Amino acid sequence: MCHLNAYEDYKRRFLAGDSTVIAQQSGGKIAHGTNYLLISYFNQEVKVDLVTGEIDGKETLLSDTDKIIIWSYLINAKGLEPVGKWVGFAEMPGAQNHQQMFKRNTTEPLAQTFGADAEGFARAAAALGGQKVKLGDSGYVFQVFPKVLVAVSIYLDDEEFPANANLIFDVAIIEQLDAPNIYTLSTEIARKLCGFSCG
């Protein structure tokens, strides 16, 4: 019930906004002659109906969680460009209440899935549109939205240290998503990457 309430609440809040401002602030665009806002989500164009609020992934199936993340970003986007300064989840305002869940649902599954499989991580990251960066033993940055960047790194299991994983965020995200939604986005990234490994 709570999930359904959140789903409907975010959709309602999106529909209450000024679509022209939302498009400008988020890096999206309103398709000419239509009632659709187009926005990039993990480098895939999604279509948001400005009349009903419904979201169509076009080339990919979107979960309800994906849609809540998209609505939340569109509602809160402030037009801020990524600045190249990176922060961890623990540094986010309000993150304290989500720290243990963040570890359990993001970094631990990623380390378990890819801690001995750098090639599998590379394939999964490429499937999600990641670009290789110098982080950990293997790192990729993901353009979640036009103005939101998240990087994921894997530290491979060896004789001295167990496998580990980390997520860092371009600091511009702090002004555009709150800690609960950054946590939700992070778990979705982990779910997608681990899912690509299984697929």
Strand order in the sheet with 29-30: 29-30, 36-41, 44-49, 55-56
Measured between alpha carbons, how far is residue 160 from residues 34, 113, 129, 180 in Å? 58, 19, 32, 34
| pLDDT of the residue at 2 | 46
- Please list the alpha-helical segments (H only) found in the chain: 2-15, 19-26, 64-76, 99-102, 108-114, 118-127, 179-198
For 83, phi then psi, to 5°, come to -110, -5
Provide the token pair at 38.
């187009």
Reported as type and span, the H/E element at residue 87 is strand 86-88
Cα separation, 29 vs 85, whole angstroms: 27
Sign of CA dihedral 95, 99, 101, 107: positive
Q: What is the pTM of this model?
A: 0.94
| pLDDT of the residue at 124 | 96
What is the pLDDT tens value at each position of the chain, 199 positions in all?
345 688 899 999 999 999 999 999 999 999 998 999 999 999 999 999 999 999 998 777 899 999 999 999 999 999 999 999 999 999 999 998 899 999 999 999 999 999 999 999 999 999 999 999 999 999 999 999 999 999 999 999 888 889 999 999 999 999 999 999 999 999 999 999 998 866 5
